[in-house]
Amino acid sequence: MSVDAHCHIDLHPDPQKVFETLIADGVQTIAVTTTPAAFKGSSRFMDSMRGIYPAVGFHPEVVAERPQDIKLIRPIIERVQWVGEIGLDGSKRFEKSYDKQKIAFERILVECHLAGGRNLSIHSRNAADDVLDCLERHSGSGTAVLHWFSGTKKQLRRANDLGCYFSVNDQMMSTGKGRTLISEIPIDRLLTESDAPFTLTSSKQSIASCLISCERIISECLGSSHMEVKQKIRSNFDCINQAAG
Give me the residues that bind Zn ion (CB under 5 A), please.
Answer: 85, 195
Residue placing its CB nearer to Zn ion in the complex, 6 or 118: 6
Residues facing residue 142 across a β-bridge = 118
The answer to whether the annotation marks 8 as part of a ligand binding site is yes
**Whole-angstrom Cα distance, residue 156 to residue 132?**
10
Residue placing its CB nearer to Zn ion in the complex, 2 or 232: 2
Residue placing its CB nearer to Zn ion in the complex, 89 or 215: 89
Residue placing its CB nearer to Zn ion in the complex, 7 or 181: 7
The minimum distance between CB 29 and Zn ion, in angstroms, equals 13
The minimum distance between CB 87 and Zn ion, in angstroms, equals 10
**Whole-angstrom Cα distance, residue 23 to residue 33?**
18
The minimum distance between CB 196 and Zn ion, in angstroms, equals 9
Which amino acid appears at position 222 of this protein? L
For 75-97, the DSSP string reads HHHHH-SEEEEEE---SGGGGGG
**Whole-angstrom Cα distance, residue 103 to residue 155?**
22
The answer to whether the annotation marks 195 as part of a ligand binding site is yes
**Whole-angstrom Cα distance, residue 17 to residue 139?**
38
The answer to whether the annotation marks 113 as part of a ligand binding site is no
The answer to whether the annotation marks 85 as part of a ligand binding site is yes
**Whole-angstrom Cα distance, residue 156 to residue 64?**
28
Comparing C-alpha atoms, which of 29, 21, 59, 27 is closest to residue 46?
29
Residues annotated within the binding site are 6, 8, 85, 123, 147, 195
Residues annotated within the binding site for a divalent metal cation are 6, 8, 85, 123, 147, 195
